[in-house]
Amino acid sequence: MSGSPEAPEATDPGPRSSAAGSDRSPLVGQGVWVILPTYDEADNVAGISAAILAALPAATLLVVDDGSPDGTGHLADQLAAVDARIRVRHRPAKQGLGRAYLDGFGSALDGGASVVVQMDADWSHDPAVLPSLIGPVVDGSADLVIGSRYAAGGGVVDWGLGRRLISRGGSLFARLVLALDPQDLTGGFKAWRAATLETIPFDGVHAGGYVFQIEMTFRTARLNGRIREIPITFRDRRVGQSKMSRRIVIEALVVVVQLRAEELIARLRGRSTPGVIAGSAVVAEPLHEPRNDGPELNPALTPDPIPAHLPAPASEPELR
């Protein structure tokens, strides 16, 4: 396919506010940004975009494309040209799912989002669930909502035994090592309160694929963030190839242990604040007291540098 048409220059949205629009109450998507990373999703991007905006008509959809050779970015530009709710961020090459999400999160926060959703572009996550997913964030009862395959009522479809064992085993391993409560730590269908994302230092996130999902929930939990799970049915991608690999699984195991080790080392050094670990330092204040129960981007963005608040890109594996 031909390259993306020339797009107007993006305007500077200005500095982020710690409130990040948290005083607004999104109605059918108002104030909600949906981040949709893509790599070779030409067969899916149009349909999934339409379904997302049908579920949340007032939302902003940000497609973050990693230089897809199949022309996904060009197709997204065409969608943005006829629908002002769609924005496109072009990245020069495949740099990992976690990095794409962090890039998209930064753009959403800069754009004044009050709720930020992350989801896959391959139909594994059902757009019809979006209103239920954002509900607890909108009503103020949660800082992070996880669309959970393993909560009561959730499940997976069209997975073989091996993949089921890897997914369930990965979540269980992370729960035990990191002492976390959520049942599904490796899923990527989530809704965030924007002010919660503001407290997480992006430059301290390992930003891999599989492990990115675990780490972001870990950091939120360590800030005493209110985390809820709602049951979803996860379906294997309709078209295209899964991006799961053995390397991604090994990376996840290593980073989970590393996160726990960093936390223990910080405690031994006397850093007892309940903030999260960023590199070798504990940063940020908790979002809540511990509980006893437990402006404007242009419609199509031309290739541009990663925002200054993100670390330099690195080549990383991706998970879908």
What pLDDT does 244 receive? 52
Q: Is residue 299 part of a domain?
A: no
What pLDDT does 267 receive? 85
What digits encode the pLDDT tens for the residues 91-129? Answer: 999 888 999 999 999 999 999 999 999 999 999 999 999
Q: Is residue 7 part of a domain?
A: no
Residues 162-187, mean pLDDT to the nearest whole number: 86
pLDDT at residue 24 above 50? no
> For residue 179, what are the domain limits?
32-284
Residues 196-206, mean pLDDT to the nearest whole number: 92
Residues facing 301 on adjacent strands: 89
CATH assignment of the domain containing 268: 3.90.550.10
- Cβ neighbour number for residue 253 with a 10 Å cutoff: 16
Q: Which helix (H) or strand (E) holds 133?
A: helix 130-138
What digits encode the pLDDT tens for the residues 266-297? Answer: 888 875 434 444 433 334 455 655 444 433 34
What pLDDT does 246 receive? 65
Q: What is the mean pLDDT of the chain?
A: 79
Q: Is residue 197 part of a domain?
A: yes
Q: Is residue 302 part of a domain?
A: no
Q: Is residue 309 part of a domain?
A: no
Q: How many domains does the chain have?
A: 1
pLDDT at residue 140 above 70? yes
What digits encode the pLDDT tens for the residues 68-90? Answer: 999 999 999 999 999 999 999 99
Q: Is residue 314 part of a domain?
A: no
Q: Which helix (H) or strand (E) holds 88?
A: strand 86-90
If phi > 0 it is left, if psi is from -120 to 50 it is alpha, else beta; for residue 140 that is: left
Q: Nearest Cα to 233, choosing from 175, 189, 170? A: 189
Q: Is residue 79 part of a domain?
A: yes
What digits encode the pLDDT tens for the residues 239-259? Answer: 545 555 567 667 778 888 989
Residues above pLDDT 90, as percent of the chain: 53
Residues 133-150, mean pLDDT to the nearest whole number: 97
- Cβ neighbour number for residue 6 with a 10 Å cutoff: 9
Confidence of residue 184 (pLDDT cuts 50, 70, 90): very high
Q: Dihedral of CA 304/308/312/315: which sign?
A: negative
pLDDT at residue 167 above 50? yes
pLDDT at residue 9 above 80? no
What angle do the packed helices 246-268 and 161-178 form, to 10 degrees? 10
Q: Nearest Cα to 134, choosing from 291, 214, 48, 27? A: 27
What pLDDT does 28 receive? 62
Q: Is residue 75 part of a domain?
A: yes
What pLDDT does 131 receive? 97
Q: Picking from 16-25, 163-172, 203-212, which range would have the lowest pLDDT averaged per residue?
A: 16-25
Which residue has better confidence, 232 or 211?
232
Across 152-161, 176-185, 202-211, 233-242, the highest mean pLDDT is recorded for: 176-185
Residue 300 half-sphere exposure toward CB, CA atoms < 13 A: 17
What pLDDT does 242 receive? 52
